[in-house]
C-alpha cells in the first residue's frame, strides 16, 4: 500500500469500526511502578523513518478531542485491516474436544482440539485453577514463542520455566488458553515455513500471515468467552517473541482484550523479521509505505499495554529503540486523561523474561484485569 492509497482510504473510510468499550477512568489502582516504565531513555534512538503524527486530521489541523480521535482511529484501523487482507467474517461455533488432561500444582490442564476456521482444526491448551470459585474469573490468551515445543512449552510441560507463562498465569488465578500458531500446522508440528505459508496462501491468497495469526488469536478469545466460568470483560493477552507480535496485534484489533503485555516481539519494522511472508511481507519495506507501529499501539488506547524489552544479547528485539513508537502513541493515550497506562520496561537482559520481570508481568495482568 502506497502513501497516496493510504490517504485516500483514510479520507473515505467508514466510521463503523469498533471502539473500545472498556473504560479505565475509574480504575481503583495502578501498578506502583507505572511511572518507571514511562520515562524516556536518556538518549532516544531515531526510528528508521519519521513517524506520521497521530493527532493531525486530513486537513492538517490538530486533533484535540476524543471525538476527533475516534474518527481518526477508525480510519487508521480501516487502513490497517485493508493492508492485512480479508479473513472469514463468520467463525465456527466453539466446540472443544478434550484430548488429554493432567493436574499440575493448582491447575487443571487440558489439551483440546477445536476449529479455527471452518474445516481447519487446531489444538491448544486450556488451563483452569483447580480451586473452585463462586465468581467468574479473569482470563488470558497466552501466545507461544517460536519453538518446536510451542504450546507444550508455554503450558508448562517442557522447557525453561521462564516460558511457562500459561501455567504461571493459571497459578495466579486466571483461566488461560494458549492456541498453536498456524506455522506448526504441518504433520507432527515440525515447522516448515515454506510449506505452511504456501498452504495458507492457497486458502487466502490476498491475506497476510499476520492476519491469520490475529484471526487465530481472536478464536482463542472466542474459546475463553464460551466458558461459563470466564468473565468476558476481564480478558488479557500476553506473549513472548512470536507470541509478543500476536498479543500486540490482538490487543490493537480486538476490543475484547482489556490489557496486554508484549515481550521482546520487536516494535520497529526493522527490529525483527516483520517483513517475512508469515508476518507482514515485504510491502512494509517500500520507502513510501505510509503506516507504522505507533499507529497500532495507539489503537489500544486507553487500555493498558506494556512492552518488555531486552535491549542487548542474542536475539534481543526491543530496547530504547522501541521508545519512539511508544512516544508516538502517547498523544492518543493522553486524550483519555491521566494516568496513561502505556509503558516500556527495558530490563537489558536479552531475549528472555527474567524472574524479576516475570513478577511485574504477572502483576500488570493481575491489576489491570481486576
CA torsion sign for 297, 300, 302, 306 is negative
Cα 210 to Cα 49: distance, rounded to the nearest angstrom: 22
pLDDT of residue 19: 36
Q: Is 293 exposed, middle or buried (0-12, 13-18, 19+ CB in 10 A)?
A: buried
pLDDT of residue 10: 45
Q: Are 309 and 301 in contact (CB under 8 A)?
A: no
Cα 15 to Cα 28: distance, rounded to the nearest angstrom: 32
pLDDT of residue 22: 47
Q: What are the grid coordinates assigned to 272, written together?
A: 525483527
pLDDT tens per residue, the chain (370 residues)? 444 444 444 444 433 333 344 454 455 589 999 999 999 999 999 988 899 999 999 899 999 999 999 999 999 999 999 999 999 999 999 999 999 999 999 999 999 999 999 999 999 999 999 999 999 999 999 999 999 899 999 999 999 888 999 999 999 999 999 999 999 986 566 678 888 999 999 999 999 999 999 999 999 999 999 999 999 999 999 999 999 999 999 999 999 999 999 999 999 999 999 999 999 999 999 999 999 999 999 999 999 999 999 998 778 999 999 999 999 999 999 999 989 999 999 999 999 999 999 999 999 999 999 9
pLDDT of residue 27: 53
Task: Write down the domain spans for the chain.
Answer: 97-368
pTM of the predicted model as reported, rounded to 2 decimal places? 0.92
Q: What are the grid coordinates assigned to 130, written together?
A: 483447580
Cα 270 to Cα 290: distance, rounded to the nearest angstrom: 15
pLDDT in tens, 145-175: 999 899 999 999 999 888 999 999 999 999 9
pLDDT of residue 11: 41
Q: Are 114 and 96 in contact (CB under 8 A)?
A: yes
Strand 305-309 with 342-346, pairing? parallel
What residues contact residue 147 under an 8 Å CB cut-off, 6+ apart?
Answer: 153, 159, 163
Q: What is the CATH number of domain 97-368?
A: 3.40.50.1820
Amino acid at each position: 500500500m502506497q502513501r497516496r492509497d493510504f490517504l485516500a482510504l483514510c479520507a473515505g473510510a467508514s466510521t463503523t469500526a469498533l471502539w473500545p468499550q472498556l473504560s479505565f477512568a475509574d480504575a481503583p489502582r495502578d501498578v506502583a511502578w507505572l511511572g518507571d516504565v514511562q520515562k524516556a531513555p536518556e538518549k532516544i534512538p531515531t526510528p528508521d523513518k519519521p513517524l506520521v503524527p497521530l493527532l493531525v486530521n486530513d486537513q492538517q489541523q490538530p486533533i484535540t478531542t476524543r471525538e476527533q480521535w475516534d474518527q481518526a482511529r477508525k480510519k487508521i484501523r480501516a487502513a490497517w485491516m485493508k493492508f492485512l487482507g480479508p479473513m472469514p467474517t463468520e467463525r465456527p461455533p466453539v466446540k472443544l474436544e478434550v484430548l488429554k488432561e493432567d493436574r499440575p500444582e493448582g491447575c487443571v490442564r487440558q489439551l483440546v482440539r477445536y476449529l479455527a476456521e471452518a474445516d481447519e482444526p487446531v489444538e491448544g491448551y486450556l488451563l483452569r485453577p483447580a480451586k473452585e470459585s463462586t465468581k467468574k474469573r479473569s482470563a488470558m490468551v497466552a501466545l507461544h514463542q517460536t519453538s518446536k515445543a510451542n504450546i507444550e512449552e508455554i503450558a508448562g510441560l517442557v522447557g525453561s520455566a521462564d516460558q511457562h507463562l500459561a501455567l504461571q498465569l493459571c497459578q495466579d488465578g486466571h483461566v488461560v488458553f494458549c492456541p498453536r500458531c498456524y506455522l506448526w500446522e504441518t504433520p507432527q508440528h515440525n515447522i516448515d515455513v515454506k510449506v505452511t505459508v504456501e498452504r495458507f496462501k492457497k486458502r487466502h491468497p490476498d491475506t497476510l500471515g499476520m492476519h491469520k495469526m490475529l484471526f487465530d488469536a481472536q478464536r482463542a478469545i472466542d474459546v475463553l468467552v464460551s466458558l461459563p466460568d470466564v468473565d468476558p470483560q476481564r480478558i488479557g493477552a500476553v506473549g513472548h517473541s512470536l507470541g509478543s507480535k500476536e498479543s500486540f496485534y490482538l490487543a490493537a484489533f480486538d476490543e475484547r482484550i482489556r490489557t496486554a503485555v508484549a515481550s521482546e516481539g520487536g516494535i520497529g519494522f526493522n527490529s525483527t523479521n516483520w517483513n517475512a511472508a508469515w508476518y507482514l511481507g515485504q510491502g512494509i519495506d517500500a520507502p513510501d509505505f505510509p503506516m507504522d507501529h505507533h499507529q497500532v499501539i495507539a489503537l489500544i488506547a486507553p487500555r493498558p499495554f506494556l512492552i518488555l524489552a531486552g535491549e542487548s544479547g542474542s536475539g534481543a528485539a526491543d530496547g530504547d529503540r522501541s521508545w519512539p513508537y511508544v512516544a508516538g502513541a502517547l498523544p492518543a493515550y493522553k486524550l483519555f486523561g491521566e494516568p496513561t497506562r502505556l509503558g516500556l520496561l527495558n530490563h537489558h537482559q536479552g531475549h528472555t523474561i527474567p524472574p524479576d520481570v516475570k513478577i511485574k508481568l504477572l502483576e500488570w495482568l493481575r491489576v489491570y484485569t481486576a
